[in-house]
Every structure is written in structure tokens, then in C-alpha cells.
A and B are shown apart, each in its own frame.
Chain A
Amino acid sequence: MWSGNLKTALASLRSAKWRSLLTMLGIIIGVSSVVTVVSLGEGLKQQVVGQIHTLGSDVLTVRPGKLVSDGSARQSLNLLAFLSTSTLSEQDVLTVSKLPQVSTAVPINFVTNSAAGGEQQLDNVSVLGTDAQLNDLLRPKMDSGAFFTPENANDDVAVIGSTIAAHLYNGSNPLGHPISILGRDFIIHGVLAPSAGGLVTIQQSDLNSTVFLPFGPAKNLVDNRTNISQILIKAKPGVNPDTAVAEIRKVLLQNRGGSEDFSVLKQQQLLELTGKVVNKATGFVTGLAAVALLVGGIGVMDIMLVSVSERTREIGIRKAIGATNRQILSQFLTEGLVVTIGGGFIGILVSLMIFGFLRLYTGLEPVINVSVMILAVSVSIAVGIVFSVVPALKAARKHPIDALRG
């Protein structure tokens, strides 16, 4: 019976191709937006996990802005903190590095997002000013050359990621060649090996498209102004990270006369915070997608009602030759389900295509999430059932003789 229903449903959808496609569109938009957004969020989370992986879990981070507002019973994420100007200074780095619990403190100074070299101009890179000690923290694998050392602190040298190397000096070894940042040439000192990790800065970045400059020359580039997006801190071995966090917080508070516009985070907290941001954004867009699905569902119901009244005579004939109400009901339910499940699958395909474009043209790395796809398909099944039931019932309850006359 089910295979018969499926055949009938497909035949009836084929007979009105455009109508079926437009009906599916609402479902397609809803499903593809949910899958895309959730996968993007998942990608963001994984980037953070990647950073933790790169840095090791004992590294602490100081970030500008108070990300977690407490005082209320429940801690909540303060999104305004992301908009505030960084007040982290070189002085802060110095103070923190002098603490007995701290072995290294490295500033990450976000300079710009464009770089040029050879004949190429790149504008989706992270140019970061930092100290040579970052090498101890990151321990990055080098493809060629080496990370700059404390002796290079005042030299115009740069360490570049593998993607940049590939773009600027396609194939040839870029070592010793210049890379131009804001009009000044830096000599390429080392090239990082391709890696999955990244540093979560203002802009989401991966190490492959990052340029590291020594802190001093980087600062000189922008009139000695700094924009420290984070301070990476490695605690001494054996120090309880919570004690270290408390001490760092104390000295930073002293530096700014007691006003707290920074956050000291353990890696785990960073992950949780990113999770919170992602969940907020995901929740919002999921809400929008739910509206799209609702509208799509109403579209399905509308078309099904039209289909039922168009096929009144067919229903009459089927009843005359012995179809029960339940059999007619399941026939029309199947038809609605074919539309919505089809829409769900096409929606997933569309979101996979969107992922392709995002990977090609932006730095975003969506992570394909199977559970989200399963959810999307089951939601489209639910929409199909909910919005086809009324038309299908209408069809099933038609009086055979009235239907035959219709």
C-alpha cells in the first residue's frame, strides 16, 4: 500500500512540477538556514578547541572587556564587551610577566588585516604583533626558516602562515623576500607548516593565514598605538591555574585603579564563552528558520487543500472501488510528506553548497554536523505531518457520492 501511495504522490507532484517546487521552497529555505547556522557555530567552537589544542590547556588568556557579568545569581555573557576598545597595554604585559606564578606572558597585538607581497594583495589575513616567546607557547611547526628570536625584537622580520606563502610566492620559497604591511617591507624569516589550529582574535583566524611581526616594529607601523586583543599567559609548572587567574586579576585591577574592563580566562572558560555566543546566535537564527518552516508548512497545507479539491472526483472513484477513509488519508499524508522530506533533503544539499562557497570565499569553516541534519529531516517530517493532516482528513471524510459528482 505504501509503495502505491508513494507512486501516486510522485505522479501527482510530477504533474504540477512548478507548484511542487515552489511549495518545497519554504521548507528548503528553513532547513538550509538551520543547518548552515548550526554548522557555522559548530565550526567556531572547533576553532576555539583548535586554539586550546595549539596552546595547550594550561595557557591562560586575558581579553579586553568584561565578558562575564556577575552579580546576578546566574552568570551571563556580556556581548557588549566585544565592542569595547582594548585597554590592555604593554604595561599590563610587563606587570603580569613579573608575577611569580607566571613563566611567560605574550601580547597579541592586532595590527591590520591586509598584506602584500610579490604582485599580490591579500586582505583576509591577521597581521599580529607579538613577542618571540610566542614560539615557546605555540611551538609551531615550521615549513622553512625559523620563528623570530628576542634578538630580532627591533628588526623588520615576519613569520607567515602557509596559505599566505602559497598565495604570495606561489611555489617558490619566500624566505628572504619581503612582505609589505601598511606600506613597510618586512623580510620573511620563517614559514609555518600548515596546521588546523588558530588563535581566536577579534577576527576568527587560523594560523595558516596569519602574519607574525615582532611587537616593537608592529607598533611602529601604527604610530606606536597598540590594540592588544589578547595576552597569552603560561603559568609556571605546579601553579594552580585558579590562583594564577586570581593573581593576574589583582595586578591588572591595580594597574587600572580598580575598574575591571578585562577578563582573565582559562581555556575551558574560553570554550564555554564561545559556546554561549554561538548558542545565542544560533538560537536567534533558528527562530527565524522556524518562522520560515512555519510559512513553508502553511504553503504545503495550502497546496494540499488545492490538490484535494482538484482531485475530488479521483477521491470519489477510489472510494467507490473500496478505499477506506484511512487509505485516502494515508495517500494524501504521503503526498505532503514527500514534499516536505524532499524539501528537507534539498535544503541539506543547498546548505552543503553554501558551505562550499563559505570555504572558498570567506575564512569561515563550517563543520558539517550529522545530528543537525537528522534534526532538520525529522523537523521537515513533522511539518509534513502537521500541515498535511487537515487536507488529508478533508479528503478522507468526503462523502463518496458527493466526491464522484465533484
Chain B
Amino acid sequence: MALIELREVSKLFGFGEATTLALDEADLTVEKGEFLAIMGPSGCGKTTLMNIIGLLDRPTHGIYLIDGKDASRLRPNRQAKLRRDRIGFVFQFYNLLPRLNVLNNVALPLAYRGMTPVRRLKRASDMLELVGLRDREYFFPKQLSGGQIQRAAIARALINNPSIIIADEPTGNLDSHDSKVLMELLADIHRQGNTILMVTHNPELTRYASRVIYMRDGTIVEDESTSIGAVAKGALRTYLRKRKTTEEDVLAGVSALLKDVPGKAMAKGPKKRLPKKIFKKRSRRRARRKVRH
């Protein structure tokens, strides 16, 4: 049985004319022990997908199964307990509580499980040892570097021994050195048999993944198994994609996407029609079609 299974999961935001389709009938199956990297341009639905898998958000349509059981229609408190016991989050903006020290931040999920303070602090301390932050236990988040905070966030994500670890651009705010340290840590965790889902923009990071999916406009357009250690082929394509804009275009503020759109858009002037809007319009049309069904 697959650990995670999404069947035709869609997510709509907004009402009426302003409806946008963030996820469009996405199907995805993740087995235990996979390191899944999710790539795609901004606004393609990666984060929405992660939020649904992480039970932070509910799909508008479709079914989401964890270990074969429907998790998307559970009551909020059941979902909270499932999040607590089975899912660990690592966010791009760290999201540690600024008023608690690192040790208490890491121990917090255990507090919500009702563990006694002595036991949970002991366990949090062990977990911080694992991520190399034992000597920073009593520091507050603002006293640490970005890389250290993110490692503390990983310790927090791991403390409940979750079956799914969701990392949404975990290296998004880190320099290359901290990124490397962090990714090695995640790779370690993966080697111990954990399942990791990671959103990233950086093709380099697909080296650590065992599988890469590419998304566009709310759908999964490509699904590729890769060998750990090599950059995924699909990622490489985006990496090496030929630039369509010239230096002059860049100076004039014209993006590659605009050059793709028929001349009509150009005629109206680049400033009035931004690429994002074009995407929105397309997805709106799709949403309408969906509603009609």
C-alpha cells in the first residue's frame, strides 16, 4: 500500500469570476522511503500540493489517502493529531516561535502529545545533538544563523518520528554552504528510511532526490525517477534552457514569457499585460469548465 495517494485532487481558490485553479486533478502516489523533489515555476501549485499532503489545507475535489485511509475529509482535530504524529514540516521561513528557546521549540510537538516536560526536553536535546545544535539549546531563534535555525526546524520536524517529512523550499533563504549542510542532513534522514517531499527551485538539489516531479498550471506534467547523486534530466533541461530574451529585451523589461505570447499582447504594451494574468485567465477558463461538469 502506498504511503501517500492522491486521486484527482483539485484545489480552487476564490469565488465566481475570481476563481483560480491551483491544483487541477493531480494524481500522485508516493511510496515509503522515497525522496521526492517537486519542481516548477512559481504559482504552479507546488505549495498547494504540499499543504494538502501536509493536511494544512483541504482539497476542493478528489481524495487524499495516507496508508490507504482517507485523510482529507477528517475533522480538524483528527487532522491535527495526524499532523502531529505522522507529518513533520520544514518551512522556507523557518517558522520557529521567537519567544521560545531552541530546545522548547523543538520539544513543542511533544508537548501537544502530552509528554512530561522532563522527557520531552531530554528527547529534544537528543534531537538537537543529531542536527549538531546541542551547544545552542538555550539560544533564541534570533540569536542563530539561518542555517542553524533551519536545522533546529528539522529537529522539530523529526521529533515525533513522522512518516512524512515535508520541506517547502528549505534552502530558499540559505547561502550555498548552509544549503549543502542542510541537504546532507536531509539525505542522512532519507538514508534512515524516512520519506521526504521537498519543493525546490534549485535543479542542483535534485541530486539528493530519488524521484522528481515537474508541475505546471496545477498539473503534474512529468514524473521522473532519478539516481541519487545526479541532477535530474528534466531539471537539467530547465537549467540549460536557451534564453529567449536578449540583453536588450532585459533592459526594456520584456520577459521571455511575453515573447512567447502572440503579438496582440505586445501591441497592448508589456506593462498592461503581465504574464501572471495570462496564466490566471487560462486557469479561470478551466475552472469554469470544471464547474459546468
Q: Verify A11–B99 contact, CB threshold 8 A.
A: yes
Q: Verify A321–B156 contact, CB threshold 8 A.
A: yes
Known A-B contacts A325-B76, A325-B80, A326-B77; the reply to A320 vs B54 at CB < 8 A is yes
The segment out of A245-253, A311-319, A375-383 that lies at the interface is A311-319
Which of A11, A15, A316, A322 lies in contact with B80, CB distance below 8 A? Answer: A322
Check B108 for interface membership: any CB of A closer than 8 A: yes
Q: Verify B80–A324 contact, CB threshold 8 A.
A: yes
Within 8 A of A (CB), among B13-42: none
Q: Which residue of A lies closest to B86 (CB)?
A: A322
CB neighbours of B117 from chain A (8 A): 3-4
Known A-B contacts A12-B99, A314-B97, A327-B112; the reply to A320 vs B89 at CB < 8 A is yes
Check B211 for interface membership: any CB of A closer than 8 A: no
Known A-B contacts A4-B111, A404-B95; the reply to A322 vs B83 at CB < 8 A is yes
Max chain A Cβ within 10 angstroms of own Cβ: one of B51, B85, B96, B108: B108
Check A22 for interface membership: any CB of B closer than 8 A: no
Assembled-state Cα–Cα distance A322/B96 (Å): 14
Within 8 A of B (CB), among A1-34: 1, 3-4, 8, 11-12, 15
Check A368 for interface membership: any CB of B closer than 8 A: no
Which of B84, B99, B114 lies in contact with A321, CB distance below 8 A? Answer: B84
Which of A8, A318, A322 lies in contact with B81, CB distance below 8 A? Answer: A322
CB neighbours of B76 from chain A (8 A): 324-325
Check B59 for interface membership: any CB of A closer than 8 A: no
Q: Which residue of B lies closest to A404 (CB)?
A: B56
Assembled-state Cα–Cα distance A73/B104 (Å): 69
Q: How far does the Cβ of B59 sit from chain A's closest Cβ, in whole Å?
A: 12
Check A393 for interface membership: any CB of B closer than 8 A: no
Q: Verify A322–B77 contact, CB threshold 8 A.
A: no
Q: How far does the Cβ of B99 sit from chain A's closest Cβ, in whole Å?
A: 5
Assembled-state Cα–Cα distance A317/B108 (Å): 11
CB neighbours of B84 from chain A (8 A): 321-323
Check A295 for interface membership: any CB of B closer than 8 A: no
CB neighbours of A8 from chain B (8 A): 99
Q: How far does the Cβ of B263 sit from chain A's closest Cβ, in whole Å?
A: 38
Check B222 for interface membership: any CB of A closer than 8 A: no
Check B195 for interface membership: any CB of A closer than 8 A: no
Check B57 for interface membership: any CB of A closer than 8 A: yes
Max chain B Cβ within 10 angstroms of own Cβ: one of A1, A313, A321: A321
Check B170 for interface membership: any CB of A closer than 8 A: no
CB neighbours of A313 from chain B (8 A): 95
Q: Verify A321–B57 contact, CB threshold 8 A.
A: no
Q: How far does the Cβ of B140 sit from chain A's closest Cβ, in whole Å?
A: 11
Q: Verify A1–B114 contact, CB threshold 8 A.
A: yes
CB neighbours of A1 from chain B (8 A): 111-112, 114
Q: How far does the Cβ of A20 sit from chain B's closest Cβ, in whole Å?
A: 14
Check B113 for interface membership: any CB of A closer than 8 A: yes
Q: Which residue of A lies closest to B55 (CB)?
A: A400
Assembled-state Cα–Cα distance A289/B83 (Å): 47
CB neighbours of B112 from chain A (8 A): 1, 318, 321-324, 327
Check A401 for interface membership: any CB of B closer than 8 A: yes
Check B148 for interface membership: any CB of A closer than 8 A: no
Check B171 for interface membership: any CB of A closer than 8 A: no
Check B125 for interface membership: any CB of A closer than 8 A: no
Assembled-state Cα–Cα distance A4/B107 (Å): 11
CB neighbours of B113 from chain A (8 A): 322
Assembled-state Cα–Cα distance A4/B160 (Å): 18
A317-351 toward B: CB 8 Å interface, digit per residue (1/0)? Answer: 11111111111000000000000000000000000
Within 8 A of B (CB), among A374-406: 399-401, 404
B153-165 toward A: CB 8 Å interface, digit per residue (1/0)? Answer: 0001000100000
CB neighbours of B51 from chain A (8 A): 401
Q: Verify B56–A325 contact, CB threshold 8 A.
A: no
Q: How far does the Cβ of B43 sit from chain A's closest Cβ, in whole Å?
A: 15
Known A-B contacts A3-B117, A15-B99, A326-B77; the reply to A321 vs B83 at CB < 8 A is yes
CB neighbours of A317 from chain B (8 A): 95-97
Q: How far does the Cβ of B199 sit from chain A's closest Cβ, in whole Å?
A: 15
Known A-B contacts A4-B111, A401-B57, A404-B56; the reply to A324 vs B77 at CB < 8 A is yes
Check B109 for interface membership: any CB of A closer than 8 A: yes
A147-176 toward B: CB 8 Å interface, digit per residue (1/0)? Answer: 000000000000000000000000000000
Q: How far does the Cβ of B149 sit from chain A's closest Cβ, in whole Å?
A: 13
Q: How far does the Cβ of B172 sit from chain A's closest Cβ, in whole Å?
A: 15
Assembled-state Cα–Cα distance A321/B113 (Å): 10
CB neighbours of B95 from chain A (8 A): 313, 316-317, 320, 404
CB neighbours of B97 from chain A (8 A): 314, 317-318
9 more A-B residue pairs beyond the given contacts A321-B83, A322-B109, A400-B57, with a C-beta to C-beta distance below 8 A: A1-B111, A320-B95, A321-B109, A323-B80, A323-B112, A324-B81, A324-B112, A401-B57, A404-B91
Instruction: Name A residues whose Cβ lies closer than 8 Å to a Cβ of B.
Output: 1, 3-4, 8, 11-12, 15, 313-314, 316-327, 399-401, 404
Instruction: Name B residues whose Cβ lies closer than 8 Å to a Cβ of A.
Output: 51, 54, 56-57, 76-77, 80-81, 83-85, 89, 91, 95-97, 99, 108-109, 111-114, 117, 156, 160
Q: Can you list 30 A-B pairs, Cβ within 8 angstroms, ordered by A?
A: A1-B111, A4-B111, A4-B117, A12-B99, A15-B99, A313-B95, A317-B95, A317-B96, A317-B97, A319-B56, A319-B80, A320-B54, A320-B83, A320-B89, A320-B91, A321-B112, A322-B83, A322-B85, A322-B109, A323-B84, A323-B112, A324-B77, A324-B80, A324-B112, A325-B77, A326-B77, A327-B112, A401-B56, A404-B91, A404-B95
